[in-house]
Amino acid sequence: MPRELSMQPFFAQRFEKVEPSFIREILKVAANPEIISFAGGLPNPHLFPVKAIDQACQDVLREQGAAALQYAATEGFAPLRQYIADRYLARHGMQINPDNILITSGSQQALDLLGKVLIDEGQDLIIEEPGYLGAIQAFSVYQPTFKPITLEEEGLDLAALDALLASGSSAKLLYGVPNFQNPSGVSYSRANREALAERLVRHELLMVEDDPYGELRFEGEHLPPIAKLAPNNTVLLGSFSKTVVPAFRLGWMVMPEWLRKKVTIAKQATDLHSNAFSQQVLHRFLTDNSLDAHLEKIKEVYGRQRAAMEAALARHCPPGVSYTRPEGGMFLWLTLPAHISAMALFDEAIKEKVAFVPGAPFYVRPEIKNTLRLSFSCVDEATIEEGVKRLARALQRML
Ligand code: PMP
């Protein structure tokens, strides 16, 4: 290590403002087995198709041998890209050329690649507020000026978006999670999607439509991706983390043709290609098993647990607390009376042995403090009831 380490700015300027993920710190506290944790954002491991993946691994190795273990194409395993394209056709009637699909190492990598290719220092970047922390972190490396737009019950606050665009903003990117958003559980309505798509086209914006939860709808009607409404102005991100397993680290980008080449070069420079063996195993799993049947199991469990959480909140929460009612995904968002800080509630809740994620880190404007995220994916119904009871007790003490 160079001796002058403490005497000069050693790290790149671009990394100075990048914060460690606050959630990781919370998860360390919540890892205590006595604590009921609504904090984690993990898919439920009891639903991982372990046996089928074991079989798929063996089949790939037996049938492909060494070929399964070789370097591979940057764009990803062609049959997997075809599978993804076929699924968009079946689910949404979207005609996607598999050439426009790039397999990524989770959708998290897609965020980084887009930052690399599209964000200049100081440039405005429009993001939902509250917004996905991992996106804020990934984009921060490229030093944009975040321009938050409030996420309301029906989707983005379009009046605020119009005002920002009319003010001569330098934004060319808009990041959002239209289905069962992390952290709020909110989805954009059909009308909100249509109005947003029209603005993307009119203002020549590119939307980063991050959709890891869209397949986890346990209630209500499926809504069209914004990428279907404005295909030339949207990059649609998908992920197998919540629908199959996160450990494979496999996601994808659906890109308009004009964007594809640059992003593929960025991907090549970053990691040559995503894990080729896991792509083959995943594809094998998807062809030998029904993803729809597997998703039904996940949705049944998450739907039940969401209902249990909602019922427990209705039973135990003091007046003045409101919460979202997600129709899918893994998260529910609580708004406390304005004078109560969720961070202070966290300390009280830990005394009661229950954990959640305070909302503050999901805002780029840190002054909003009275919200919090509850995850219902990994906690069974009886434990949800007990955890919400404890949370309400902690809250009562603060009122
Ligand atoms: N986007 C959102 C909105 C997420 O919630 C997550 C996972 N927490 C990701 C992207 C990253 O997922 P992955 O890299 O596992 O695909």
Query: Does residue 387 carry a pLDDT above 70?
Result: yes
Per-residue confidence band for 18, with pLDDT thresholds at 50, 70 and 90:
confident
Closest approach atom of ligand 1 to CA 241: 15
Q: How far is the CA of 348 from the centre of ligand 1 (A)?
A: 29
To test ligand 1's pocket by mutation, which of 103, 104, 105, 107 has the most ligand atoms within 8 angstroms of CB?
A: 107
Q: Per the omega criterion (within 30 degrees of 0), is the bond before 130 cis?
A: yes
Q: How far is the CA of 354 from the centre of ligand 1 (A)?
A: 24
Is 0.85 surpassed by the pTM of this model? yes
Closest approach atom of ligand 1 to CA 41: 8
Position 238: which residue type? Answer: G
Helix and strand totals (H; E) in the chain: 13, 14
Per-residue confidence band for 29, with pLDDT thresholds at 50, 70 and 90:
confident
Closest approach atom of ligand 1 to CA 181: 3
> Order of strands, edge to edge, in the sheet holding 251-254?
101-104, 251-254, 234-239, 206-210, 173-176, 124-129, 145-152, 155-156
Does ligand 1 have an atom closer than 6 angstroms to the CB of 212? yes
Q: How far is the CA of 169 from the centre of ligand 1 (A)?
A: 28
Helix 50-64 crosses helix 276-288 at what angle (to 10 degrees)?
110
Residue among 277, 288, 279 nearest 61 (CA): 277
Does ligand 1 have an atom closer than 6 angstroms to the CB of 176? no
Does ligand 1 have an atom closer than 6 angstroms to the CB of 108? yes
Does ligand 1 have an atom closer than 6 angstroms to the CB of 181? no
Q: Which residues contact 269 (CB under 8 A, 6 or more apart)?
A: none
The pLDDT value recorded for residue 218 is 96
Phi, psi for 207 (deg, rounded to 5): -90, 130
The Cα-based distances of 359 to 18, 32, 354 in angstroms read: 18, 21, 16
Query: Rounded CA gap, 215 and 244, in Å?
Result: 11
Q: Mean pLDDT over residues 27-33, rounded?
A: 83
Q: How far is the CA of 371 from the centre of ligand 1 (A)?
A: 21
Per-residue confidence band for 12, with pLDDT thresholds at 50, 70 and 90:
confident
Does ligand 1 have an atom closer than 6 angstroms to the CB of 179? no
Q: Which residues contact 305 (CB under 8 A, 6 or more apart)?
A: 376, 377, 379, 380, 381, 384
Q: How far is the CA of 212 from the centre of ligand 1 (A)?
A: 6
Does ligand 1 have an atom closer than 6 angstroms to the CB of 246? yes
pLDDT digit string (tens) for 75-100?
A: 999 999 999 999 999 999 999 999 99
Query: Does residue 2 carry a pLDDT above 60?
Result: no
To test ligand 1's pocket by mutation, which of 44, 84, 108 has the most ligand atoms within 8 angstroms of CB?
A: 108
Does ligand 1 have an atom closer than 6 angstroms to the CB of 234? no
Closest approach atom of ligand 1 to CA 111: 10
Q: Measuring from atom 11 of ligand 1, which residue has the nearest CA?
A: 108
The pLDDT value recorded for residue 3 is 57
Does ligand 1 have an atom closer than 6 angstroms to the CB of 251? yes
Query: Does residue 7 carry a pLDDT above 60?
Result: no
Strands 357-358, 371-375: pairing is: antiparallel
The residue whose two tokens read 């496999």 is 250
pLDDT digit string (tens) for 287-307?
A: 999 999 999 999 999 999 999
Q: How far is the CA of 108 from the centre of ligand 1 (A)?
A: 6
Tokens of 338: 């304005």
Does ligand 1 have an atom closer than 6 angstroms to the CB of 104? no
Helix (H) or strand (E) holding 71: none
Supply the mean pLDDT for the chain.
Answer: 95
Q: Mean pLDDT over residues 110-116, rounded?
A: 98
Per-residue confidence band for 21, with pLDDT thresholds at 50, 70 and 90:
confident
The pLDDT value recorded for residue 8 is 65
Q: Mean pLDDT over residues 168-179, rounded?
A: 96
Work out the percent of the chain whose per-residue pLDDT is above 90: 88
pLDDT digit string (tens) for 334-386?
A: 999 999 999 999 999 999 999 999 999 899 877 778 999 999 999 999 999 99
Q: How far is the CA of 326 from the centre of ligand 1 (A)?
A: 17
Does ligand 1 have an atom closer than 6 angstroms to the CB of 184? no
Work out the percent of the chain whose per-residue pLDDT is above 70: 98
Q: How far is the CA of 183 from the centre of ligand 1 (A)?
A: 11
Closest approach atom of ligand 1 to CA 251: 16
Q: Which residues contact 201 (CB under 8 A, 6 or more apart)?
A: 230, 232, 233
Does ligand 1 have an atom closer than 6 angstroms to the CB of 185? no
Q: How far is the CA of 365 from the centre of ligand 1 (A)?
A: 22
